[in-house]
Amino acid sequence: MTWWTKAIRSLISSGGGERLDLFRVFPGIRRFLAARYHYVYLRTGADLIFVLVVISGLFGPQDPKRNVAVFLTWGVLWPSIVLSWFFVGRMWCGICPFPGLGVFLQRRGLSFSGKVPRFLQRYGVYTSVLLLALIIWAEVVADLDRWPAGTSYLVLSIVVGAAVLAVLYSGQAWCRHLCPLGRISGAAATLSITEFRPDHEKCKGCETFACKKGMAGKRGCPVYLGAYNVQHNLHCLVCGHCLPLCHRDSPQLLFRNPYSELIRNKGRYITCAYIVPFLIGSQLARFLRQKTIYHQITAAIGWPDAVVFSLLLVLGFFAVMAIIRLGNQLIGVTEDPILGRLSPMVPIFIPMAFTGELVYRMGYFASGIGDFLPTVGRQVGTGALERIAFAIPDFPVQILSAFFMLNGALAGCYIFWRFCLEDFEGIVKFKNFVAVNLVIAAMLICYLTAIF
């Protein structure tokens, strides 16, 4: 069987059969990830962009038309991260500059290297979701995407948070338990077309667990996993630390059906159970805020924009939670003797939730990319770049947005269909099957109404 035939079979199969291991077909990928100096180059590049954003935001002009910091952050870096979720999962986290200061302090012995407390392991997910909500709220209400200094304050606050936890605990406790961007990336990575997994047959008999603990001066897994512990895409950073430490050649980078993990877990991940309703609710609120009627209503009632948007954000979250609960009742499965508590509507909505985030970020990118080089020119005093300004029309962006959202809805229908064919066979009544599909269609209409 040729590798591309196996790739197609891996892509269309939702089961746990044989999959294409990209490390075997393209060994250069494994060599690249295993060679730590490659990550040094990548992280150095990310760090340079990070420093540019911070310095430009703090000390440059505060007019967003004369400062590249805001568009680099909200128009280039963030959409690029969102797009990467669908292909390489949390690999961005492997080169993220935010934990850099903390890692620097740890390597110089400036850390207590304590064990991460149980309360942080248990309740970190709630804190990270609240921090994500705060970031999205601040982005909109404080106009961070038009405030260079505010953008710098935000990224510096994340660096400080990561550094404080690095001083207190070993490894990257911030990345594993508290980082709001890592939390949303982990939930989105369940939708990735690739997965990093061990070959458990090769792991049998291992006594060193070097992939987790490290060995001979080489750091082990920064988020306390080790290759042998990776069972899903939520936490693994695909950072490559374990590759040179494993002498059994266990780690694999598998090409897969992007919905296979969602079909298998059936909504048992608590991270997704909170991230998904918040994302959908916040996206609908953000899209609606861009409409004229929103500002007309805000002016008519005389309430500050911050209050109205906050209420809309909370209303959106609880409305989507209610829709998810309704869908779960229609499906009729909320417990599994092995997996425990389930929320099957969550994986059904995951494709729409993260496609919606991509659409929102794509809109910001399309509206600002034409003025990016002129902004660089205005900031550095080169007027010649003004002549290459351009504008992307709204219509093609809206059509592309509608196409993406339709695909997200169809993906949700496909996941539900696989549920009914496999684990939920004979459980979901036909009328309830139709009703759940109508719920998905209704969510799609809500998105399209908000976007257009």
User: Looking at the domain assignment, is residue 131 inside a domain?
Assistant: yes
Please determine, for residue 362, whether its predicted confidence score (pLDDT) is greater than 90. yes
Please determine, for residue 1, whether its predicted confidence score (pLDDT) is greater than 70. no
Over residues 297-313, mean pLDDT: 93
Dump strand ranges (E) for 209-269: 252-255
Over residues 421-428, mean pLDDT: 90
Which of 240, 258, 276 lies at the terminal end of a domain, its last residue?
A: 258
- The confidence score (pLDDT) of residue 3 equals 76
Share of the chain above pLDDT 70, in %: 98
Both 295 and 184 in one domain: the answer is no
- The confidence score (pLDDT) of residue 242 equals 93
Please determine, for residue 253, whether its predicted confidence score (pLDDT) is greater than 80. yes
Both 248 and 279 in one domain: the answer is no
Both 277 and 376 in one domain: the answer is yes
DSSP-derived secondary structure for 310-338: HHHHHHHHHHHHHHHHHHHHHHT--EETT
Over residues 379-403, mean pLDDT: 91
CA 379 to each of CA 78, 373, 383: distance values in angstroms, whole numbers, following the listed order: 22, 10, 9
Both 110 and 254 in one domain: the answer is yes
pLDDT band, residue 16 (cuts 50/70/90): low
- Rounded-to-integer distance, Cα 449 and Cα 452, Å: 6
Over residues 24-53, mean pLDDT: 88
pLDDT band, residue 409 (cuts 50/70/90): very high
Residue 313 or residue 16, greater confidence: 313
Residue 92: CB atoms within 10 Å:
22
- The confidence score (pLDDT) of residue 15 equals 64
User: Looking at the domain assignment, is residue 205 inside a domain?
Assistant: yes
- The confidence score (pLDDT) of residue 95 equals 87
Please determine, for residue 179, whether its predicted confidence score (pLDDT) is greater than 90. yes
Helix, strand, coil percentages, rounded to 5, for the chain: 70, 5, 25
- Rounded-to-integer distance, Cα 420 and Cα 309, Å: 38
- The confidence score (pLDDT) of residue 163 equals 96
Over residues 32-48, mean pLDDT: 85
Which of 258, 276, 305 lies at the terminal end of a domain, its last residue?
A: 258
- Which residue type occupies 213? K
User: Looking at the domain assignment, is residue 141 inside a domain?
Assistant: yes
Contact 196, 94 (CB under 8 A): no
- The confidence score (pLDDT) of residue 2 equals 80
CA 351 to each of CA 187, 235, 359, 383, 407: distance values in angstroms, whole numbers, following the listed order: 11, 19, 12, 43, 8
Share of the chain above pLDDT 90, in %: 77
- Which residue type occupies 445? I
User: Looking at the domain assignment, is residue 254 inside a domain?
Assistant: yes
User: Looking at the domain assignment, is residue 1 inside a domain?
Assistant: no
Both 254 and 181 in one domain: the answer is yes
Strand order, beta sheet including 252-255: 20-21, 252-255, 194-197
- The confidence score (pLDDT) of residue 382 equals 85
Shortest CA distance to 361 belongs to which of 397, 395, 389?
A: 397
- The confidence score (pLDDT) of residue 360 equals 96
- Rounded-to-integer distance, Cα 193 and Cα 238, Å: 13
**Mean pLDDT for all residues in the chain:** 92
Both 170 and 296 in one domain: the answer is no
Give pLDDT tens digits for 99-120.
Answer: 999 999 999 999 999 999 999 9
Over residues 383-388, mean pLDDT: 88
Over residues 381-399, mean pLDDT: 90
Please determine, for residue 164, whether its predicted confidence score (pLDDT) is greater than 70. yes
- The confidence score (pLDDT) of residue 102 equals 93
- The confidence score (pLDDT) of residue 306 equals 92
- The confidence score (pLDDT) of residue 354 equals 96
Provide the residue range defining the domain that includes 38.
Answer: 9-258
- Rounded-to-integer distance, Cα 177 and Cα 179, Å: 6
Both 71 and 129 in one domain: the answer is yes
Both 220 and 276 in one domain: the answer is no
User: Looking at the domain assignment, is residue 200 inside a domain?
Assistant: yes
User: What secondary structure letter does DSSP report for 111?
Assistant: -
Q: What's the domain count of the chain?
A: 2
Shortest CA distance to 350 belongs to which of 446, 262, 271, 283?
A: 262
- The confidence score (pLDDT) of residue 217 equals 81
- The confidence score (pLDDT) of residue 304 equals 93
Burial of 29 (0-12, 13-18, 19+ CB in 10 A): middle
User: Looking at the domain assignment, is residue 364 inside a domain?
Assistant: yes
pTM: 0.93
User: Looking at the domain assignment, is residue 21 inside a domain?
Assistant: yes
Which of 212, 235, 258 lies at the terminal end of a domain, its last residue?
A: 258
Both 96 and 180 in one domain: the answer is yes
Both 220 and 286 in one domain: the answer is no
pLDDT band, residue 6 (cuts 50/70/90): confident
Please determine, for residue 432, whether its predicted confidence score (pLDDT) is greater than 70. yes
Both 253 and 283 in one domain: the answer is no
Apex 257 CA angle, 252 and 263, nearest 5: 105
- Rounded-to-integer distance, Cα 161 and Cα 158, Å: 5
Both 274 and 360 in one domain: the answer is yes
